[in-house]
Amino acid sequence: MKLLAVRRLLRIQRVVIRYRLDDLLFDLPLPWWLMTLRFAMPWRWLPRKPSPLSRGARLRLALQDLGPIFIKFGQLLSTRRDLLPADIADELMLLQDRVPPFDPQKAVALIESQLGAKVGEIFSRFDVEPLASASVAQVHAARLKSGEEVVVKVVRPGLKPIIAQDLAWLFLIARGAERVSADARLLHPVEVVNDYEKTIYDELDLLREAANASQLRRNFEGSEMMYVPQVYWDLCRPKVLVMERIYGVQVTDLATLADQRTDMKLLAERGVEIFFTQVFRDSFFHADMHPGNIFVSTVKPWSPQYIAIDCGIVGSLTPEDQDYLARNLFAFFKRDYRRVAQLHIDSGWVPAQTKLNEFEAAIRTVCEPIFEKPLKDISFGQVLMRLFQTARRFNMEVQPQLVLLQKTLLNIEGLGRQLYPDLDLWSTAQPFLERWMRERVSPKNVLQNLHSQVEQLPHLAGMTRDLLERMSQPHLNDPPPPWQQRDRWALRLLGAGLLAGGATLAAGAVSLSAPAAWPAWLMLAGGLYLIVRR
């Protein structure tokens, strides 16, 4: 593995030299000590002819040659036209669905080996030339024997070794950064790379993507905001996915959307609402929402509907993460910066000894200038830089479980900037968040939560009874056997869990004005009894 990783590093170096990426780097305003690296690169001392390619084309071709992890990085960059020169952004957009395809005959052979039958026996028509091609797979159009138009997605062969080598270097860099930099440790780079490793390998399993698409389709069944194509499960395998073919306009084809008189303001607002619906209502969100995966239906331009494809990467949040994010966003929309600061301290994102007033002032300084401005007037690059500076000052830690959500937010914001630059992000998101928080404390939801807690009571009661019976045995004056010590600790741990759960429930009931708080007091009383009893 180490030898393969070294070979991969040499391959990366050859690509950098071939496409003159070092020229792009040293054209940037770098510190003097980084500029001196030019003299440590021996190939820069050799005479070189000017490249006939533009800088954007060189960057795109380099990322394309280096494989899926680099291509995905380029896809993310392509959504942020506010942070890139136009010529580079235009080239990187080609990485979304126009990566050079692999040999179609290899695709046919893979489909036949996975499905156990000839292509002609499964489909009445199969287009050998791919419809689209991206970093992990390519797509072919086909028609089933029953007449339905479908697309067949096939995973690129030979990806795992390349991904494994790139990940080995990412882990090496992350571990090195954690050893030498206290600031890097706050970002938890090793955990971030570890999460990314799971994400990229999951994307290679098309059965997982099929399951994700089916779940997302159920979540938005009958919705006017978004449509998800049907999956044909009988024809799905780990490396082959067959699903309904959709017809729409790519979301970045602004000219076509304008020609059909699409309501761009409503389209942008629905994009924001879809995101918040996935995150807070469903806790299941499409996490690869670059423009190559998003289309717009042509049926009702006055009431535009999104069409989402490629559900290989999805994210979900725990109830605790949902609650934390909702409270932060709600306080943020209300400009209650003291509440935002207090939530960060309570959640452990910043050290407990952080001075609340100083942290509140820092957050206000970063956030206040962006309110009441449309997207076109907000420099998110500057906002992010100032947030990082604030993080360093207060030792604020990045939460690895939220990195996927942050990546999706970057995609959504970049997309909204292209569709309708005058979109008021705050006024669009705030009503949805307020509605979601009201629904959380509605009598129906409170009763559902109470019902789920009551269902656990017989199990907890049985455990408690068994433990109490074993602890009430004779030989009280003898040293307690090891099993009895473990049972006492088990009871105390159970009591601590009840105390923590009761405290959390009580806090939620008070802050959200829940109508029923008695289960919280019951849990608190039971937990206290189990801890203090002998």
Domain presence at residue 304: yes
Q: Is 337 in the same domain as 295? A: yes
DSSP code, position 374: -
pTM of the model: 0.71
CB atoms under 10 Å from CB of 176, counted, come to 12
> Does position 334 have pLDDT exceeding 50, yes or no?
yes
pLDDT at 516: 45
Q: Is 487 in the same domain as 524? A: yes
- Give the model's confidence band at 453: pLDDT under 50 very low, under 70 low, under 90 confident, else very high: low
Residue-wise pLDDT tens digits, 8-21: 777 777 887 787 77
Q: Is 182 in the same domain as 327? A: no
Q: 23 Cβ partners below 8 Å, 6+ apart?
A: 55
Is 134 annotated to bind a ligand? Reply is yes
> Does position 78 have pLDDT exceeding 60, yes or no?
yes
Lowest pLDDT segment from 87-91, 220-224, 277-281, 344-348: 344-348
Query: Could you confirm whether 103 is annotated as catalytic?
Result: no
Q: Considering its fold, how many domains does the chain have in total?
A: 4
Q: By the 8 A CB rule, do 191 and 144 touch?
A: no
pLDDT at 130: 92
Q: Is 80 in the same domain as 181? A: no
Among the three residues 383, 412, 440, which one is the final residue of a domain in this structure? 440
Q: Is 455 in the same domain as 526? A: yes
Domain presence at residue 490: yes
Is 347 annotated to bind a ligand? Reply is no
> Which one of 97, 288, 323, 424 is the catalytic residue?
288
> Does position 32 have pLDDT exceeding 70, yes or no?
no
Domain presence at residue 207: no
Q: Is 435 in the same domain as 466? A: no
Is 177 annotated to bind a ligand? Reply is no
Who wins on pLDDT, 517 or 199?
A: 199
| Closest by Cα among 425, 77, 404 to 271 | 425
The torsion defined by the Cα of 83, 335, 275 and 268, in degrees rounded to 10, comes to -60
Is 168 annotated to bind a ligand? Reply is no
> For residue 165, what are the domain limits?
159-201
- Give the model's confidence band at 85: pLDDT under 50 very low, under 70 low, under 90 confident, else very high: confident
Mean predicted confidence (pLDDT) in 272-277: 88
Q: By the 8 A CB rule, do 162 and 247 touch?
A: no
Q: Is 36 in the same domain as 74? A: yes
Domain presence at residue 358: yes
Domain presence at residue 221: no
Residue-wise pLDDT tens digits, 391-443: 667 777 666 667 777 777 777 777 777 788 887 777 777 787 778 777 765 56
Domain presence at residue 477: yes
Domain presence at residue 369: yes
Domain presence at residue 89: yes
pLDDT at 288: 82
Is 509 annotated to bind a ligand? Reply is no
- Give the model's confidence band at 483: pLDDT under 50 very low, under 70 low, under 90 confident, else very high: very low
